[in-house]
Amino acid sequence: MAPRGHTADDVARTALQILDDHGLPDLTMRRLATALDVQASALYWHFPNKQSLLAELSDRIVGRTTSGPSVDLVAEARALREALLAYRDGAEVVSSTLAMGLGSSLAHDRLAAAVIAEGFDDETARRVATTVLHYVLGFVWHEQQRLQYDSAGAREGAAGGLADDDFASGLDLIAAGLQARGRV
């Protein structure tokens, strides 16, 4: 029987709220259990370890992409960026989950499908999707770090985060490289 009637969805939704309110370093199983008014051991009924919980959070974050059908690489990358920015430390959660080989491959699959839709082969699509995924994760991770430092007053003379134009310029470079490769 599940503890106190909480579902895995309840646990994940509460964990996402803690992530958003306090950040990844403060998303502990103890804090999560306290928020749900259960013992920490009760959480393992739904998630065998913290890594599996983070994989679920990663899947939920990436699942927020709203670009529609995979037809445009730049649109997919922008949708992924928006999904990552929707939660504090979203890029770090997704990146660490992927590095551990956990969670779904939805983000990579959508990026690869967009490249295939442009007429490229599967191997090229895989490599480009990996490159774009790493670019988006790195850009957003940096962006989120700057936002946190700025809000804490840790950067003197801080003029805000990175601009959308900076993100778009990097994507344009990758897309131009892909198109140039296709014409060789």
Q: Please tell me whether residues 69 and 145 are part of one structural domain.
A: yes
Residue type (1 letter), 63: G
- Domain assignment of residue 1, given as a range: 1-48
Q: Each residue of 115-162: pLDDT tens digit?
A: 999 999 999 999 999 999 999 999 999 999 888 776 767 666 555 556
Residue 35 Cα distances to 32, 106, 156, angstroms: 5, 30, 35
Q: Please tell me whether residues 102 and 129 are part of one structural domain.
A: yes
Q: Please tell me whether residues 23 and 11 are part of one structural domain.
A: yes
User: Taking Cα atoms as reference points, which of 86, 85, 66 lies closest to residue 137?
Assistant: 85
Token reading at 159: 């003029």
Q: Each residue of 61-110: pLDDT tens digit?
A: 999 876 666 578 999 999 999 999 999 999 999 999 999 999 999 999 99
Q: Please tell me whether residues 69 and 160 are part of one structural domain.
A: yes
User: Taking Cα atoms as reference points, which of 181, 68, 91 lies closest to residue 140?
Assistant: 91
How would DSSP label each residue in 33-54?
HHHHTS-HHHHTTT-SSHHHHH
Indicate which CATH number applies to the domain containing 112. Answer: 1.10.357.10
Residue type (1 letter), 30: R
Indicate which CATH number applies to the domain containing 11. Answer: 1.10.10.60
Q: Please tell me whether residues 44 and 85 are part of one structural domain.
A: no
Q: Please tell me whether residues 94 and 110 are part of one structural domain.
A: yes
Query: Is the whole model's pTM more than 0.85, yes or no?
Result: yes
Domain end (from 31, 48, 65): 48
Q: Please tell me whether residues 71 and 143 are part of one structural domain.
A: yes
Number of domains in the chain: 2
Q: Please tell me whether residues 31 and 92 are part of one structural domain.
A: no
CB-based contact 90:140 (threshold 8 Å): yes
